[in-house]
Structure 1
Amino acid sequence: MKYFILYFLFLVSSNFVKAHKPKVRIETFRNVKTYFNSEFNFNPKTIASEELKIRVIGQLSRVIAEKLGYSDTIMIERKTYYSHDPHQKFFILENNNSQYKLAVLDDGTVLKSNNKGLAVRILSENINVVDVLKLVEYSILNRKKLNKKLIPTTYFFEQNQQLSLLVNSEEFIQRLCKSKSKLVNEVIGNEIELLDNGFLRTKISWKSGKFVFGINNKYPASGDYYKSELSDYEIEDFKYYVDSVYSNCFLIFHNSKEFTYFDGENENTSATIKVENDSWYPFQLSKDRFDDKVILFNNNRYFYVYNFKKKLLKKIE
């Protein structure tokens, strides 16, 4: 145990997460553009589910647009936090304007419309992929009357600065999300690949409303890892995952205090494990595994040693 403590002291002095800037991700899927802005930005091995969702939405929105014969630009703009009111959220379904909007609001700017395409803009802590796809479908089919559904609201930035903004009512958005769609039900059957580490043998995908984590621990004689069978762990939603340095296990956090350990061996897959957490930083995994143990931490006061064979968690202070 003394070795673990010394190792932990080294970790927190050399590898502990530091203050960070918001994470911005911009992608294009043919005529669909996505903009994602999140305060969750720590390292390439620690990824929030909300970041994965916008990639799923972008790719499946392209499929919806193709099936509906819509070729103009679709801007899907997403911001996960609002510093002046963490509980505020709003949706904007807008026609004839595929210009950025959420991206520059905190600068006190509303960019002029580019008079083309349409936009689905979302400010919220979390979203449901299927719901957003319904909004995309509705926006394409009803684009000529979209702007008539917008109502004014106030957006605050900096200290006491404010902007007037047109948004959709929550009642209107909820009604669309509760509606049924044959097209959306069809397209969510497409598997969207989100991570493929190749010879590291780990994979993450999304299909039919579920994230699928896969790890291949079988080594075929031919050396063709892509044809090997993956062991999967499926989950509808989660807060974030931590991929180990050598991609031999995942910690999948359901929320800030509960996680599941998954390494591709069914007998090692844990039930939900609870940890203490009084920090907003996500947990990290140590670089190395120690036989049947991993170390996780998110502060410099204590850490956890998890034995994945015995499914035992021990807190070290």
Structure 2
Amino acid sequence: MGIPRLEAAHFWIVFPFCAMYVVVLLGKFTLLFVIMTEPKLHHHISLDLPMYYFLCMLAGIDLALTTSTVPKILRIFWFHSHEIGFECCVVQMFFIHSFSAMELGVLLAMAFDHYFAICKPVYYTTMLTNAVIAKIGLAVFVWGIGLMTPLTCMVSRLPFCGPWVISHSYCEHMAVVKLACGDIMPNYVYGIMAATFVVDSDSIFIAISYILILRAVLSLSSRDASLKSFNTCSSHVCVILVFYTSVLFSFYTQRWGQSIPTHIHILLADLYLLVPPMLNPIIYGMKIKQIRSRVNNTW
């Protein structure tokens, strides 16, 4: 249905959505291009290497997350292409939730990267080798896929008797499950438990990492060293705040935000897929000197 109660405004809503999607594509591909062509990354002794690898993972995940949903949303708003096959709907649902879990995993890995860089600099290059980073990337990928595979199978086996109308702009898990005419309690419980476990566990470990980082930074005798350490972490903290705020608001209002109008919730859920991926390259481009200077030299 796109955004119920805002059907008359769909034509105009598509313009900012399309602009944000273009910014996402330009930002991600520019970030990947800069990282691939940065001369310092061709030296195996570069201390920035793990951070750049994690940024590449984050860019790839954001591209997959937005491209699996936004083009269809734009077709709904602009061309009234409301129909989607059941298999495509399930695949879209799988992509949305699995890549969201992967993004949380990469943000956690980046928190550990900052922890070792600031608190354990002596062990940084020995701990975060290329092999370790590859294993972390594989673990994040398997984690997202493994978490969503059971949920996808459960949804595929539900009986759907009609009406087959999703009051949303994309195939979000609970929006699809609510159409089933069978017992949806297992889907509801698993969805709540999986989302809560992923968000809570990742946020706890990220918080622990930054508590240790803060303690190490405050113990530094040099004010310049403290400012440099804070600047190193600031971009990551901004990205975490943007992503977690969007995720938590979308997740909890979907289940317990009955007082929030449906069209407001769905509009914010659509923006959740666009705003964090759009802001990520901008934040890192502004805060990381190598990326900023490389972009300036390129353009």
Q: Judging by fraction of residues, say which structure has more helix.
A: 2
Q: Judging by fraction of residues, say which structure has more strand.
A: 1
Q: Same fold (TM over 0.5)?
A: no
The two structures have a TM-score, normalised by structure 1, of: 0.28
The two structures have a TM-score, normalised by structure 2, of: 0.29
